[in-house]
Amino acid sequence: ILNVEQSPQSLHVQEGDSTNFTCSFPSSNFYALHWYRWETAKSPEALFVMTLNGDEKKKGRISATLNTKEGYSYLYIKGSQPEDSATYLCAGPVNTGTASKLTFGTGTRLQVTL
Amino acid sequence: NAGVTQTPKFQVLKTGQSMTLQCAQDMNHEYMSWYRQDPGMGLRLIHYSVGAGITDQGEVPNGYNVSRSTTEDFPLRLLSAAPSQTSVYFCASTDLPRDRRNEQYFGPGTRLTVT
């Protein structure tokens, strides 16, 4: 992996379904992986910043795990609600020595319907 | 705190015109950056600054200039607008991270159309 990649590109689930998506990143020189939630017509908001291999973070029904050795992070949403509909972005520092020169993935667009 | 503010929210330019997108933050953040967001491309870094008087190029700097005369402000200048610069522009700021973990705070975005 030479860049930050996210899958799937989009996801459509029913209310109450649990779902998860993936962020892959270069595992060499890793020091942080960011997850952002981006609602339509708004600006991205930080969900998690993860740094340690094996890290698990949780905010309400949303949680994330991190595997720095193999270069991936999973974002989970338990019992999806319509208000969870958004694009979920991950970002990491790729091929830079600069702390906040983040490279963003293209995002996973989640739509939750009733 | 107002957080990160951007003006204008919308702008239409003709090819060849110049303009400045304004960005300001009131959180005393040292680090500020500009991104552009295009369909299918995610957020791409244009320029960034690690403090007043210090700027550097990001991934897609061509056609844009920045300056950082104060901690609070980080304007982005389009020198001669081109249709390829039609995009949504986001400004972001964060504390200069000691351990590179600080989340970024984004402004509301400026939607620019170049005809």
Contact B106 A44 (CB under 8 A): yes
pLDDT at residue A77, rounded to an integer: 98
- With contacts defined as CB-CB under 8 Å, which chain B residues touch A32? 100-101
Q: Positive or negative CA dihedral for A28, A109, B47, B26?
A: negative
Asked if A111 has any chain B CB less than 8 Å from its own CB, the reply is no
pLDDT at residue A96, rounded to an integer: 56
Phi, psi dihedral angles at A82 (to 5 degrees): -55, -35
Cis peptide before A8 (omega within 30 of 0): yes
Nearest chain A residue to B6, by CA: A43
pLDDT at residue A94, rounded to an integer: 65
Distance from CA of B19 to the nearest CA of A (A): 22
Amino acid at A3: N
Contact B102 A42 (CB under 8 A): no
Tokens found for residue A19: 């779902």
- With contacts defined as CB-CB under 8 Å, which chain B residues touch A101? 45, 48, 58
Mark which residues 45-64 of B lie under 8 Å from A by CB. Answer: 45, 48, 50, 56, 58-59
Phi, psi dihedral angles at A21 (to 5 degrees): -140, 170
pLDDT at residue A52, rounded to an integer: 87
Cis peptide before B8 (omega within 30 of 0): yes
Q: Which of A98, A100, A107 is closest, CB to CB, to B104?
A: A100
Beta bridge partners of B11: B112
Radius of gyration of chain A (CA): 14
pLDDT tens digit sequence for B50-65 = 889 999 998 899 999 9
pLDDT at residue A66, rounded to an integer: 95
pLDDT tens digit sequence for B72-115 = 999 999 999 999 999 999 999 988 665 566 788 999 999 999 99
pLDDT at residue B42, rounded to an integer: 83
Q: C-alpha angle B38/A94/A33, rounded to 5°?
A: 85
pLDDT tens digit sequence for A66-92 = 999 999 999 999 999 999 999 999 998
pLDDT at residue A2, rounded to an integer: 61
pLDDT at residue A95, rounded to an integer: 54
In 10 A of CB B28, how many CB atoms?
A: 10
In 10 A of CB B23, how many CB atoms?
A: 25
Among the residue ranges A28-42, A67-81, B10-24, the one predicted with the least confidence is: A28-42
Amino acid at A68: T
Residue A97 has pLDDT above 90, yes or no: no
pLDDT at residue A32, rounded to an integer: 85
pLDDT tens digit sequence for A44-67 = 999 999 988 999 999 999 999 999
pLDDT at residue A98, rounded to an integer: 53
Tokens found for residue A86: 């958004």
Distance from CA of A102 to the nearest CA of B (A): 8
